[in-house]
Amino acid sequence: MSDRTRNREQSSFGEAPEPSLPYLGPMPNRISHTFIHVLDQDEALDFYVGKLGMVVSTDADLGTMRWLTVKFPDQPDVELVLMEPGPPAYDDTTTEQIRELVAKGGGAGLIFQTDDCRGTYEQLRAKGVEFTQEPVERFYGIDCGLRDPFGNPLRFTQPPDGPIVVPSPEELQAQEA
């Protein structure tokens, strides 16, 4: 019996079997940083730290750019890089295109998990955060939408108490009607 067959037989229903790919050698095993483009890093700090409760992890002047990362205190191994588009990563034309795209709401988005979506929504509204969507119950939990000060789409999601049951396309369409 091959390792692949053995892994498939030992996995639980709905779980992907663990790959056994010894020929690949060392591989990445976690995400440590993710980037979001911001148009002003100080304004980004006010929002992500002052309103969302993240903390500064690194704030370094690298000469050609400012390396600014934030994280949640309870999740120290994942950092969000608040990246202002520009050199050395992008030329002037690309920088301007990214800035325009972010301002239109076409930038990268993030989904934050919360234990209480409605409570988070109310707390942030009291801090002046504007939302694009109030909390709504969905099959994957309770969810609401907002944008950061630059236009990046953000969501807060409260997972359901039990397992997630994905509805069929027809059931989803009926819910939206």
Distance CA 66, CA 83 (A): 8
Residue 46 in tokens? 């006010």
Three-class SS of residue 157?
strand
In this structure, are residues 117 and 135 in contact, taking their beta carbons and an 8 Å threshold?
A: yes
Strands 153-158 and 110-113: parallel
Task: Give pLDDT tens digits for 10-48.
Answer: 444 455 566 666 667 788 888 999 999 999 999 999 999
Tell me what pLDDT residue 175 has: 79
Q: At a CB cut-off of 8 Å and minimum separation 6, what does 124 contact?
A: 51, 52, 131, 146
Domains in the chain and their CATH numbers? 30-164 (3.10.180.10)
Is the Cβ–Cβ distance between 113 and 149 less than 8 Å?
A: no
Q: Give the separation between CA 128 and CA 40, rounded to whole angstroms.
A: 18
Q: How far is CA 103 from CA 6, 27, 65, 130, 147, in A?
A: 51, 36, 21, 15, 10
Token pair in block for residue 155: 């969501």
Cβ(24)–Cβ(46) below 8 Å? no
pLDDT digits (tens, 9 = 90+) for 80-130: 999 999 999 999 999 999 999 999 988 889 999 999 999 999 999 999 999
Cα distance between residue 22 and residue 2, in whole Å = 13
Q: What is the pTM of this model?
A: 0.82
Token code pair at residue 11: 């996995």
Q: Give the mean pLDDT of 152-164.
A: 95
